[in-house]
Amino acid sequence: MNNQDISNNPLADLDHWEDDLLRRYPDPDTIATNKTKEEYRNYEEPARDSVKEFYRLNHTYQSYEFVENKKNEFLKFDKKEMPVWQAFDFLNELVDDSDPDTDLDQFQHLLQTSEAIRADGHPDWMVLTGLFHDMGKVLCLFGEPQWAVVGDTFPLGCAFSDKIVYSEFFTSNPDYDNETFNTKYGIYEPNCGLDNVQMSWGHDEYVYQMMKDYLPESALYMLRYHSFYAQHREHAYDHLLSKHDQEMFKWVNLFNPYDLYSKNPVPPNWAELKPYYEDLVAKYLPATLKF
């Protein structure tokens, strides 16, 4: 199938997926300073047909073979090489003026996430994780459709859980009737560990692979699994997780509220923050990043 043969980008902008998450997973924590938890729970907007269409595409085309092909295409990191701060400018090309929640660019969202983490006194590597967690969305700038960049992630190579949002759309996935893949364990052994599991493709896996040589394991779990809602919200795949995965998921659970609930219309003061973040990035990362 040629990706260009279908309507690849049903969402008006990438934040619509995150808005849908706010409706599905309202959080009682106090990270959200711009809205009350009730306002997040009762988001004043009708459910978007575009979100449903997004997941129809995602669940139809995210197959085991599709992910293998994407890994071969993008994990060579041979598309572009940039200084770290130029990479943020590149990411900001994804700004969409129609976003109803904020007119801040992608970098400002990342900075708000990292500043919320920093304000709560977490380690500096976690602050850096907040700053970089959405860097993988640059895949859209390399021509990738939205359904192959954002969205809830899930394992492939085994049966699709009914705890995954819009799970009914998996009936159109080529793996659905594959007898090798459509049992509880599929190609895996019980509690084999997520490092041995093929996850659906998107910005989580991409940024994890980009950062895996630079950040501690706790940070890498945050990056790799922050969209794996079927597990860290529903525990749908406990049978695949190792004991080590179960322990490490406390970091994923800690991180997610900062990602979802830190949006605020007032941008951080970058002039004041710049020296801190320049030192932080230099502490952990090389001068240039490969994409």
Regarding predicted confidence, which is higher, 33 or 244?
244
* Domain definitions of the chain by residue range: 3-290
pLDDT at 35 over 60: no
List the beta bridge partners of residue 146: none
82 backbone dihedrals φ, ψ, rounded to 5°: -140, 155
pLDDT at 37 over 90: no
pLDDT of residue 33: 52
pLDDT of residue 184: 98
pLDDT in tens, 92-103: 887 533 333 445
pLDDT of residue 26: 58
Tokens of 119: 């304000």
Burial class of residue 52 in the structure, from the number of CB atoms within 10 Å of its CB (0-12 exposed, 13-18 middle, 19+ buried): middle
Kindly report which listed range (10-14, 98-102, 164-168, 185-189) carries the lowest average pLDDT score: 98-102
Burial class of residue 274 in the structure, from the number of CB atoms within 10 Å of its CB (0-12 exposed, 13-18 middle, 19+ buried): exposed
pLDDT in tens, 107-134: 888 999 999 999 999 999 999 999 999 9
Mean pLDDT to the nearest integer, 273-278: 97
Write the single-letter amino acid at 93: E
Distance, in Å, from the CA atom of 24 to the CA atom of 2, rounded to the nearest integer, reads 32
Mean pLDDT to the nearest integer, 262-276: 87
pLDDT of residue 99: 36
List the beta bridge partners of residue 81: 290
